[in-house]
């Protein structure tokens, strides 16, 4: 690969092989930093302890008669979730991670669709799960992560774990000796559509193991790294890249107590890395810069950035020194942010780098386990999604005159198909190629650029393609715009008008009015000026002709993607 050899990674056949070999290498090192119930300091849990608990839980689940069964897990990011996941896939059956934010009726629907035999759940979703005991057809076992002992029909996770440890002492080895079929379905993941349209993606050990090796050969991660786990772990992005990847590379995973606690937990865990989505990094960057400008003044900050950029060209890096306060505000140890789930504004990645913190973005889909392309720490383009993973073929299908077409890929991390949906599988996988539904192009250096979702494209009256994501990025750069959604509206004359829904940053507008930085005008007037400024940078057929302002934020998925179609229905 151009500009830097790939990093050496140890070969793994499957996730069982991965855990066993990591325990041999990293043994007594902390695999996790977990908070006790009710808060307090982080408590380390070693690799050896983790494997011992995985083996015990797997043994207990098999003892319940769940061999080859489907087991759902639902709850916040925590140690018990990680034990549950590997104790199912490494020798028991098929794991079905579910989104804890879903309403009870949707959870019931997904449990029925997956024909789950058991569910492991946390206290936070107890009220959604326990009433299903009377209704569910397929569920045989309800296992609570938080009950200290069995209560009626509800089994205690901790009692089961204890029982598993006892069974292992008695010589029970069904789980420990279980052979892994690396190409069979072991993971069943629902995509984040509405539950009727959400597709159930079937993944194998091979899919994930190949994705882990490919990803880690491109980004340097090792046992000195501590990783703050923030995004919902049921999602394949956090699960593969924020849990399994860390166990593979010998890192320590610290569980975040929630989005409000990111900064506090970065400090407490001394985290060196964090995975996030654009919304998290964009709001972090805005807050950091607003505070820095308030305390030092805009001129000083701009001068410091300029000075650092000049010095870095001659090999002198003083960013950590100059921006010491910013680094300390983020815990003092952060070296790398990784952004995914949607394209990030390149100015945010560049902005963090100018402060001495690397931010790289990647691109992936649940169907690809999930990473397809990734920017490297040593070779990147902020405006690109990244370079394709080494063992994945990525091509542009039927490109137009600008080289833009649908992105398709082929390789061992592509899913087995959609569960019980041969029609959808046949539509998505054709001649061995998975068609992503995303539009993009390759540049001359082999970097993949995403232009937007194929289904979101707005086609103007004169046949021009407008990607709403491009205009949204420009709108969201305004300090007075929190978020935006761009769409097309058909006219009676056959033309299409570009429109935008905008959520203003009311606090920022109020602040700047009080400090006489902007005229005391209505919010609509201020936003109208921002829209006009964006239009000046765009070719005329992309101009926003109409916009509406709303105070409430848009409905989002748990990975903070705007549910575009639901917002437009409102």
**pLDDT, position 1:** 46
Outline which parts of the chain fall under CATH 3.30.300.30.
Answer: 457-569
Instruction: List beta partners, residue 397.
Output: 406
Q: Is 543 helix (H, G, I), strand (E, B) or coil?
A: coil
**pLDDT, position 136:** 60
- In whole angstroms, give the CA distance from residue 77 to residue 75: 7
Preceding peptide of 168 cis, ω within 30°? no
Assess contact for 357 and 334: CB atoms under 8 A. yes
DSSP string, 147-188: -SS-BTTEEEHHHHHHHHHHHHHTT--TTTTPPP-TTS--EE
Outline which parts of the chain fall under CATH 3.40.50.12780.
Answer: 15-180, 273-452
Task: State in words which class domain 273-452 has.
Answer: alpha beta
Q: What is the CATH number of domain 15-180?
A: 3.40.50.12780
Which residues in the chain land under pLDDT 50? 1-2
**pLDDT, position 558:** 76
Assess contact for 144 and 157: CB atoms under 8 A. yes
Fold designation for 457-569: GMP Synthetase; Chain A, domain 3 (3.30.300)
Across 405-445, where does the E strand assignment appear? Answer: 405-411, 417-418, 429-430, 433-442
**pLDDT, position 342:** 83
Assess contact for 208 and 244: CB atoms under 8 A. yes
**pLDDT, position 494:** 66
Residue 191's contacts (CB-CB under 8 Å, 6 or more residues apart) are: 198, 199, 201, 366, 367
Helix (H), strand (E) at residue 425: helix 422-428
Kindly report, residue by residue over 148-179, the tens digit of the pLDDT. 999 988 999 999 999 999 999 999 999 999 99
């Amino acid at each position: 690969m151009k500009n830097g050899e790939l990093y050496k990674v140890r070969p793994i056949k499957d996730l069982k092989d991965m855990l066993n070999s990591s325990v041999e290498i990293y043994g007594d090192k902390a695999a996790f930093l977990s908070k006790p119930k009710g808060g307090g300091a982080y408590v380390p849990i070693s690799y050896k302890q983790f494997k011992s608990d995985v083996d015990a839980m797997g043994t207990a689940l098999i003892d319940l008669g769940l061999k080859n069964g489907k087991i759902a897990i639902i709850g916040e990011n925590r140690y018990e979730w990680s034990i549950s996941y590997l104790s199912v896939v490494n020798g028991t059956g098929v794991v079905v991670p579910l989104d804890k934010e879903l309403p009870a009726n949707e959870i019931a629907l997904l449990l029925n669709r997956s024909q789950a035999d058991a569910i492991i759940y946390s206290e936070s979703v107890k009220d959604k799960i326990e009433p299903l005991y009377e209704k569910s057809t397929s569920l045989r076992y309800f296992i609570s992560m938080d009950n200290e002992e069995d209560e009626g029909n509800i089994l205690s996770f901790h009692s089961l774990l204890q029982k598993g440890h006892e069974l292992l002492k008695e010589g029970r080895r069904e789980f420990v000796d279980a052979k892994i079929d690396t190409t069979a379905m072991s993971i069943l993941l629902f995509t984040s559509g509405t539950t009727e349209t959400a597709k159930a993606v079937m993944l194998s050990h091979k899919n994930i193991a190949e994705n882990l090796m490919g990803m880690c050969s491109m980004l340097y991660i090792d046992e000195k790294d501590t990783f703050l786990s923030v995004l919902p772990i049921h999602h394949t992005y956090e699960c593969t890249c924020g849990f399994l990847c860390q166990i593979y590379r010998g890192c320590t995973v610290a569980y975040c107590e929630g989005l409000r606690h990111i900064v506090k937990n970065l400090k407490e865990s001394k985290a060196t890395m964090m995975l996030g989505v654009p919304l998290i990094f964009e709001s972090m960057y805005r807050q950091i810069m607003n505070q820095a400008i308030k305390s030092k003044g805009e001129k000083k900050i701009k001068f410091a950035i300029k000075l650092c950029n000049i010095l870095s060209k001659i090999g002198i890096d003083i960013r950590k020194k100059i921006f010491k306060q910013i680094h300390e505000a983020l815990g003092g140890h952060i070296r790398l942010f990784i952004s995914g789930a949607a394209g990030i504004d390149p100015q945010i990645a560049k902005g963090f780098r100018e402060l001495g913190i690397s931010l790289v973005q990647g691109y992936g889909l649940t169907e690809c386990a999930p990473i397809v392309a990734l920017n490297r720490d040593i070779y990147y383009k902020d405006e690109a999604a990244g370079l394709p993973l080494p063992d994945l073929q990525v091509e542009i299908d039927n490109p137009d005159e600008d080289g833009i077409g649908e992105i398709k890929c082929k390789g061992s991390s592509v899913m087995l198909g959609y569960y019980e949906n041969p029609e959808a599988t046949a539509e998505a996988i054709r001649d061995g190629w998975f068609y992503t539904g995303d539009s993009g192009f390759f540049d001359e250096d082999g970097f993949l650029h995403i232009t937007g979702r194929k289904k979101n494209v707005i086609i103007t009256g004169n046949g021009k393609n407008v990607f709403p994501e491009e205009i949204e990025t420009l709108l969201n750069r305004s300090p007075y715009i929190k978020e935006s959604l761009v769409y097309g509206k058909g006219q009676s004359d056959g033309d299409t008008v570009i429109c935008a829904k905008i959520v203003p940053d009311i606090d920022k507008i109020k602040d700047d009015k009080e400090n006489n930085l902007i005229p005391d005008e209505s919010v609509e007037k201020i936003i109208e000026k921002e829209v006009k400024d964006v239009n000046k940078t765009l070719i005329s057929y992309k101009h926003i002709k109409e916009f509406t302002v709303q105070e409430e934020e848009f409905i989002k998925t748990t990975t903070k993607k705007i549910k575009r179609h639901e917002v437009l229905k409102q």
